[in-house]
Structure 1
Amino acid sequence: MFSLFLVTPLKLMLLGLIAILGITIVRYSWVAFSGESERGRFLRALLMTITAVVVVIISNHLLLFWAAWVSVSLCLHRLILFYPQRPRAQLAAHKKFLLARLSELLLAGAFIALYSQFHTATISEIVYRASESAGSVQLTIAALLLSMVALIKCAQLPVHGWLIQVVEAPTPVSALLHAGIVNLGGILLLFFSPVLAASPAACWFLVILAGVSTTITGLVSTTRISIKVKLAWSTSSQMGLMLVEIGLGLYEMALLHLFAHSFYKSFSFLNSGNTVNHYLAAKLAGGVKPRVRHWVLALTFALILIGIAQWQFAMMTSLAATVLIWFALSALVLPSVSRWDAGSLPRIAISLAFAAGLLTLYTTAKHHLSTLVGMDAPLNIYADSFVALLFFSLFALSIALQYWPHISWVKRLFIWLNAGAYLDEWATRLTLKLWPSESLIKLQNAQWQQVKTEAK
């Protein structure tokens, strides 16, 4: 039966997430802009953006979905330029506007390909029949275009610069963007996951580009000092990781990642004003910097926990996911093994119990989320191994940057990472060629000069 809107259990869960984030951000904005004469204009744009996101979620027609997708971008543009006199906000809006138009054209192309293949604009019917047309040219084109749209929406390299510079916008905008809107790329692929799964070429395309982007942006974030900029780079890395999970067919893990990242980033941005106090408190506490042997011990403990969990629940079906969870648990256990004193054993026991609890929670959540997104797709062992290798590289390079910064190649790597791999400068130049602005050209020249000075 034809219907413009469709609410499934997955969409209902996403609507709940949007409601929680929306209420929190609107309430924060109401207080934060209490002395702002343009508070009403800001809140209207904020509510319009949230409404457009809701329409994207519940749409069951290709044309309505596309129109709502465009509306989200246009409403967000108004929020980014709430303070139009800020040059960096103008630059972010410039880049975002052009990239949004490109992604909308690509999305339109994907939808045209899907319509030509299935002769229907009803999304639920397309998704239901996707497996029947596996390997067809139209479906492959649609899957590749959808992957490109997701990569742009999730601010993956080299089209990431706007997400970094949008921190010039008010804090509620950053919270909404990083906790919600950038997730739309992942949500798009989750909604059309049968289309993506029917095209191995698109899955490989997504895994390679998002995987490399995740590795580089994750390393770049370790070189940043500004809290909001660090969070922005982290968002790009986390979104890339979510896309990698989708490309590998780990839909349950991607959905769990989406929810966890949304809540974490909204809290981080809205609470960013207290970060300095937390940093000073940590300094006064006199924490001990972990040594390499502490990392080895933490990795060993985490590996034992994963081995027990796998023996009991057989929860790990992906090498890349196993490596990722291994490193995450190691980082969790690390503080407890970094300092040896009278309270070391109880502290280690508590951290291991907490890590075991998180593993149990992950297993439970993965089981229940399978009812929303279906079971994971068949895993490509080569893609899985490639991603696992990227995770190992990310971990090894992070350790090198932290413990051996005096080595010449590590110094060169740090300079390259500190400059954001120089990718955004070229993107900025291209943006200003396509859409010139005298004030932004001056800003771009100043930034380019600063990058060259730092490189020297």
Structure 2
Amino acid sequence: MNKISICFISFFFLFFFSLMSFFSMMFFIVNNMVIFLEWEIISINSLSIVMSILLDWMSLLFMMFVLLISSVVIYYSKSYMSSELNLNRFIILVLLFVFSMILLIISPNIISILLGWDGLGLVSYCLVIYYQNVKSYNAGMLTALSNRVGDVFILMVISWMLNYGSWNYIFYLMFMKNDFEMQMISSLIIIAAMTKSAQIPFSSWLPAAMAAPTPVSALVHSSTLVTAGVYLLIRFNLLLVDMLFLKFLLLLSGLTMFMAGISANYEFDLKKIIALSTLSQLGLMMSILSMGMPDLAFFHLLTHAMFKALLFMCAGVIIHMMNDTQDIRLMGGISNYIPMTSLCMNISNLALCGIPFLAGFYSKDLILEMVSLSNLNLLIYMLYYFSTGLTMFYTIRLIMYLMVNDYNLIGVYNLYDEDYIMLRSMMILLFMSVVSGSMLSWMIFLYPYMIYLPFSLKMMVIYISLLGGMLGYLISNMGIYSVNKFMMTYNISSFLCIMWFMPNLSTYGLSYYFLSMGQNLLKNIDLGWSEMYSGQGMYNILKNYSIFYNFYQMNNFKIYLFSFIMWMMIFLFMLMI
């Protein structure tokens, strides 16, 4: 099967299943249906191994978004990865990734959730190290090790749920709600979700995973890997009530939003800016989840998936045009040369900012108004609104560097906007980035959210967005190292740029400490004491005996004579005594 056919076949099937999921979801919502399927794989006496599938409007809707984005990304990869010799291998890896995510989405069973969860971790490692250089290997290892922490907590949940007699957690949510063990299970689930969705202190792997090819970034950082933790918490939302741990989650996710927003303003790598923007939006979803509003978190998760995938695809086109350069200081004025890509980039950026009537507006505005309506302290309230202002700040800065500044790369350049495969795939997501917000707000919420607030609080979102955009514009005009000039000192800018030293802590601190501890254990115990007193020790003893016996055999007569005389002397000595 040649390269073109596997791309087109995958695109066609995924797009077809996406439409099927959409129409099924509409039918389920109208008829208020849930389908629970159980397939008994094997039954021995009282032990039965069962595969369970839960189909409701939520799983079907999320599946539709994942399948749509993955189909578009595979179509986009046909052009983006056209020089790749092993394109079929790349497509198969992406399909495995999508299959793992779908398994996670439709699972009401914690065992099958672990299969999907681990599948995501394993395939994401293979995709991050796809380009096979040192940077990719390091990023892949950081990603894999960070996600393994979450896998361990899921395994602990599996062992804990043995107390209930089954792993179908969906049946036990109401019962566990009033149970002490609920605190344990929900705490473990929250920590697992924090690792997968890259909340503080597990944030450093997400920008590092940008070493993957751009189509992978568009898929991973929009609707699949990073949203798995959020989706898991949405499914377990009945357990997340009146917990002390939830307050910590609210604080950590608010700090993640804030930290990612500040770091994005100091970053010059185009893909890392978009990755930090994803991190900020994940913090928003987790924080609204910890406040007990899973429907709003799910709404923002879906709208965010569309414009973020589009943003990554536009970034991929721009990186291709710029001779594989990702530094935004070398870009500029691209709207004159690639207008269609610039249009998609700007609309997805504006949707990210929550500009009215684009996709991001419907979810983001609703979330911030619910925050204003809630009984929150000033710190959390300031984190929400300050992070919203920072989103506008780094978006305007990015637009200034890409669209407005002068072109800075090379004298002879070839910018063209005629790669129709990439443009067609981006047009699908452009349409969804515009309409998905309003469409989902009609479908998900069966009743309108009527939020009554004073005029000043109602307009707070608009004020903060305008203020952030204005500051971004002014500071971007201050010079090429604009934000560094604004902050003046090198030390604080480096601290803010590298995510509050989090990569250093997770790489050189925790990971290095545990890995070096493992190396010392290997050296001192496996290759040291246990070797001396087991395999190698036994080998040395047998070798020495063998040498000794060989010596006897080679010198047998003299040794036997000498031994006979010695024994006779000992015997006579004993008789004399």
Say yes or no: TM over 0.5: yes
1:420 Cα deviation from its structure 2 partner: 2.4
Counterpart residue number, 1:425: 504
Determine if the alignment matches structure 1 residue 280 to structure 2 residue 330: no
Matched, 1:181 2:225: yes
* Alignment correspondent of 1:100: 147
Q: 1:415 to 1:100 in 2, by over 3 A?
A: closer
Cα distance in 2, alignment partners of residues 329 and 74 from structure 1: 33
C-alpha displacement at 1:94, in angstroms? 0.9
Supply the distance in 2 between the matched residues of 1:325 and 1:216 (Cα, whole angstroms): 11
Q: In the TM superposition, what is the alpha-carbon distance from 1:414 to its structure 2 partner?
A: 2.7
Alignment counterpart, residue 172 of structure 1, candidates 215, 219, 234: 215
Paired residue for 2:551? none
Matches within 5 A, 1:28-67: 28-67=76-115
Native 8 Å contact 2:264 2:276 kept in 1: yes
Q: Aligned in 2, Cα 1:2/1:205: closer, same or farther, shift over 3 Å?
A: farther
Can you list the C-alpha shifts for 1:93-147, whole angstroms capped at 9, x where unaligned? 111221222111111223433442x43321321234343x2xx331111111111
Contact 1:114–1:126 (8 Å) recurs in 2: no
Cα distance, 1:221 vs. partner?
A: 0.7
Aligned partner of 2:269 among 219, 226, 238: 226
Report the alpha carbon displacement of residue 195 of structure 1 after superposing the two structures with TM.
1.3
Structure 2 CA distance, aligned partners of 1:375 and 1:95? Answer: 43
* Counterpart check, 1:120 vs 2:200: no
Distance 2:151 2:372 in 1: 35
Within 5 Å, which residues of 2 pair with 1:11-410? 11-84=59-132, 86-116=133-163, 118-131=164-177, 133=178, 136-179=179-222, 180-196=224-240, 198-275=241-318, 279-281=332-334, 316-319=369-372, 324=385, 365-366=440-441, 368-370=443-445
Backbone CA RMSD of aligned residues: 4.1
Once the two structures are superposed, residues 397-425 of structure 1 have per-residue CA deviations (whole angstroms, 9 ceiling, x without a partner) of: x8798799667687654332123211211
Are the counterparts in 2 of residues 158 and 424 from structure 1 also a CA contact under 8 Å? no
Instruction: Specify which structure has the higher proportion of helix.
Output: 1
Q: Residue 421 of structure 2 corresponds to which residue in structure 1?
A: none
The answer to whether the 8 Å contact 2:195/2:202 transfers is yes
Structure 1 residue 238: Cα displacement: 1.2
Per the alignment, residue 355 of structure 1 pairs with: none
Aligned mates of 1:272, 1:9 — CA distance in 2: 33
State the AA in 1 paired with 2:238.
P
Q: How far does residue 158 in structure 1 lie from its aligned partner after superposition? A: 2.7
Q: Which residue of 2 aligns with 1:445?
A: none
The amino acid of 1:29's aligned partner reads: S
Alpha-carbon offset, residue 233 of structure 1: 1.2
Between the two structures, name the one with larger relative contact order (CA 8 Å, sep ≥ 6).
1
Unmatched segments (≥5 aa) in structure 2: 1-35, 39-51, 322-330, 338-354, 356-361, 375-380, 397-432, 450-460, 517-577
Shift of the 77–320 alpha-carbon distance from structure 1 to 2, 3 Å rule, reads farther
Checking the alignment, whether the CA contact within 8 Å between 2:176 and 2:239 is kept in structure 1 is yes
Q: Shift of residue 42 of structure 1?
A: 1.2
Bigger radius of gyration among the two: 2
Q: Distance in 1 between matches of 2:169 and 2:273?
A: 37
CA distance, structure 2, for counterparts of residue 283 and residue 27 of structure 1? 26
Q: Is the 8 A contact 2:139 2:208 kept in 1?
A: yes
1:203–1:410 distance in 2 versus 1, CA, 3 Å = farther
Partners of 1:170 and 1:65 lie apart in 2 by: 26
| Counterpart-to-counterpart distance in 2, 1:243 and 1:154 | 9
User: What SS does structure 1 have at the residue aligned with 2:55?
Assistant: coil
Structure 2 Cα separation of the partners of residues 220 and 22 of structure 1: 29
Give 3-state SS (helix, strand or coil) of 2:198's partner: coil
- For 1:209 and 1:6, the matched residues in 2 are separated by 31
Identity %: 19
**Aligned equivalent of 2:555:** none
Q: Is the 8 A contact 2:288 2:297 kept in 1?
A: yes
TM-score, normalization: structure 1? 0.69
Q: SS at 2:195's partner residue?
A: helix
What is the rounded CA distance, in whole Å, between the counterparts of 2:448 and 2:295 in structure 1? 7
Q: Secondary structure at the match of 2:221?
A: helix
Mean CA deviation greater in 270-279 or 149-158: 270-279
1:124 alignment partner AA: I
Report if aligned partners of 1:92, 1:163 keep a CA contact under 8 Å in 2: no
Give the counterpart letter for 1:184 in structure 2.
A
Question: Matches of 1:159 and 1:273 in 2, distance apart?
Answer: 26
Q: Who is 2:41 aligned against?
A: none
SS at match of 1:225: coil
User: C-alpha distance in 2, partners of 1:274/1:34?
Assistant: 13
Q: Deviations over 1:307-334 (max 9, x none)?
A: xx9xxx9x944317897599579959x9
